[in-house]
Amino acid sequence: MIKFFGSLKDGFAMESKNKIPNPFRDLSKVSLFEEIEKWLFNKIASISFDASVKSAFLLPIKKIKLFSSLYSSKIFELKKVYLQIKNAHPFYVGACEFLYEGGFGCLINDLEKILQSERKIRILARNYIKAIIKEKTKSNIFLKQFLGRAMYVIRKNSYTMHKLREAHKKLNELPDIEPNVFKVAVVGAPFVGKSSLVANLTGKKLEIGKYPFTTKRINIGRISNEKFEIVVYDTPGILDRPLEKGSVYEKKAYLILKYLADFVVFLIDPTESAGYSLVYQNRILSSIKKTMPTMPILVVETHADLLQISDNRFCISNVTGFGLDDLKQELIKIAEQWYYEKFSHGPSKPQLGHL
C-alpha cells in the first residue's frame, strides 16, 4: 500500500482552486437584438425633463450619454467572456471547431464584431452631442437620428448574436477541466454498455437507451474515497473510421481521450449483441492505441452473465453486478498510484494487472 505524504493531501486540496471552467458558459451573456433594443429604450424613456433645468437641449444629451454608457457596460461584460474564450484550453478550442458554425476562429471573429460596435456607438454619441451643442434647437431631431443610427449598428449584428446564443446551448455542455483529479474515460463501440458501467461504478443516473448512440454528450460520474476522487467520463460510442468522417459525438469522445483522460477503460462486448463484431471492436481499440501510444488502456469485457471469452481480462456484468467491485478497486489502485506520482514524484506509469 502506498503511503500518502503531505504534498499529496495539499495538492488534492488545491484541485478545486485549479479547476479550468468552461469558457463558453458565459456566452449566455450575449443578448439578442430584440432584448437590447427593449432594454435600452426602456432605460432612456425613464428619463424625464427636469423643470429646474432651463436648457431643454440637455435632456437629449443626457439620453444619448445614457444610451452609450449602458451599451458600453453590456459590451464590457462581453469583453471578459471574449478574453476567456480567446485563451481557451485546446480541449475547448477543438470542440468549438465542430460545434460552432465556421469553427473557433469564426466564433472569435463574431465576438469581435459585436465588441467593435461599442466603439462605433461611442463615436456616434460624441458627434451627436457636439451637434446638439452647436445647434440646440435641433436637439430632439439629433436625438432621433442618433437612436436610429445606433440601433442600426447594433442590428447589423443581430444574426451573429442569435448564432452565438444558439451555440451556447451546445458549448455549455462541455465539462470543466480538473487537472489535479485522476480522469478515466470509458470508451468503446456504440451500445456496448458504457453508460451502464459508469452508472454502476459511480452511482450517477444516466440516460441509458435501448438503441445505439443514446449518449450524445459527455457525462461525468465520480468515484470518491477518503483520500481522493476519480472522474469517470461516459463518452459517446465511436466507430472504426477516420476521425474527420466521424460524427460530432465521436469527435467529443476523441477530444476527451486527447486532452482530458489520464486512463482509458475500453469496453468490449464479446456477445456482439450490439451489432459490432469482436474483430470490428478490436480495430477500434487498435486505432486508439495507434493514435495515442502512451495512453494506458484497460480492456474490459462486458455481458459476463452471458459470455466470458478471456481469462486475463476484467469481465463484468452490468446486469448482475459481477466483477464491478473488482474493477472499481483496480481503478482506485491505479488512481492511487497516479496521485502518488503527481504529488509525491512516485513511479512514472500506472501498473496494470489486467490488460
Domains of the chain and CATH, by start: 21-171 (1.20.120.1190), 182-344 (3.40.50.300)
C-alpha 239/C-alpha 174 separation (Å) is: 21
Measuring CA to CA, how many Å separate 176 from each of 42, 57, 153, 203, 256? 37, 52, 35, 20, 12
C-alpha 228/C-alpha 226 separation (Å) is: 6
Yes or no: say if 67 and 147 are a contact pair by the CB < 8 Å rule.
yes
3 state SS of 37: helix
- Roughly how many angstroms between the first and final C-alpha of the chain, as a whole number? 21
| Regions of the chain where pLDDT drops below 50 | 1-9, 11-16, 207-215, 347-355
Cell numbers at residue 318, please?
A: 452490468
C-alpha 69/C-alpha 66 separation (Å) is: 5
Phi, psi for residue 241 in degrees, rounded to 5: -160, 160
Is the four-CA dihedral 103, 106, 108, 110 of positive or negative sign?
A: negative
C-alpha 179/C-alpha 212 separation (Å) is: 31
Yes or no: say if 172 and 24 are a contact pair by the CB < 8 Å rule.
yes
C-alpha 197/C-alpha 304 separation (Å) is: 13
Yes or no: say if 56 and 139 are a contact pair by the CB < 8 Å rule.
yes
The pairing of strands 314-315 and 297-301 is parallel
C-alpha 246/C-alpha 86 separation (Å) is: 26
Spatial CB neighbours of 1, under 8 Å, sequence gap ≥ 6: none
Q: What is the largest CA-CA distance in the chain?
A: 94
pLDDT of residue 309: 65
**133 Cα distance to chain centroid:** 50
The burial of 249, by beta-carbon neighbours within 10 Å (0-12 exposed, 13-18 middle, 19 or more buried), is given as middle
* 231, β-bridge pairs: 183, 222
pLDDT of residue 49: 63
pLDDT of residue 343: 82
